[in-house]
Amino acid sequence: MSKIALVTGASAGIGEATARELLAAGYTVFAGARRLERMAGLAALGATLIKLDLTDDASIVASVAAIKAGAGRLDVLVNNAGYGSYGALEDVPLAEARRQFEVNVVGLARLTQLVLPMMRAQRSGKIVNITSIGGKIWEPLGSWYHATKFAVEGLSDCLRVEVRRLGIDVILVEPGAIRTEWAGIAREGLLHVSGNGAYAAQAERYARLLDQADTSKLASPPEVVARTILRAVSARRPKTRYATSGGAHLILFLKKILPDRIFDRLIWSVSQGFS
């Protein structure tokens, strides 16, 4: 019997690559995203598409109900959906800050709440939360985004201990720089919020860095992360954390060995193009 997986944010990037990787490995995949039309390729490969909006509780409840009705169980949940909201803390409207948390943290937690009873009944399951090295490091103009990733790291650590005797594994995957549409969305939001005013020069320099994200030698294709996720969910005893691709190991090593003030200087220099 094939294992059942739900992948959120499956319309592009890491989510789409993960759904493809799991399908190729023989999983039955439910692919969730707001943009159903963007997942036609996954449907052609055999995925079941689910319209899922993490800011809409009714959508989350309906998605889990559809999996219960269609498969009766869930072996793997990949909480991948999310976006990066950038801008100076002084500039970002609190409505946008709340939306960032709603998508990246609250929606993830709500979906996890609803699938846990199935996994408890099975006495098995793997929950994969995609954070980022941004859940371990920081950068200027990214306070709300990084706050959500730090939050998911803490949420995942607590949940892992809560469910450890129930046959459920909680796994964190922490990518570095990845070539997806994420950088373009972050750049657009950054310039909209902080492209004028006191932080404009800083925002423009960082926007140029985001422009280079897809061509950077450091950036990896999303398939690298997808393969890491497959390796994690296939392991009998998976690691609690998988740093992967995009210079993740190097950056986290520097974070570990450098004092905060020195790391601050490094991050500032990189974010401003070493100006």
**What is the set of active-site residues?**
145
Closest CA to 271 of 105, 13, 88, 93: 88
Between the CA atoms of 256, 257, 260 and 261, what dihedral angle is there, to the nearest 10 degrees?
-150
Q: How far apart are CA 105 and CA 79, in angstroms?
A: 10
Residue of 42, 33, 30, 32 lying closest to 4 (CA atoms): 30
Query: 182-194 and 200-211 are packed helices; what angle lies between their axes, rounded to 10 degrees?
Result: 170
Instruction: Write the CB contacts of 1 (distance below 8 Å, at least 6 apart in sequence).
Output: none
Contact between 183 and 224 (Cβ < 8 Å): no
Is the torsion defined by CA of 65, 66, 71, 76 positive or negative? Answer: negative
Enumerate residues 6+ apart whose C-beta is below 8 A from 42: 10, 16, 19, 20, 23, 29, 31, 49
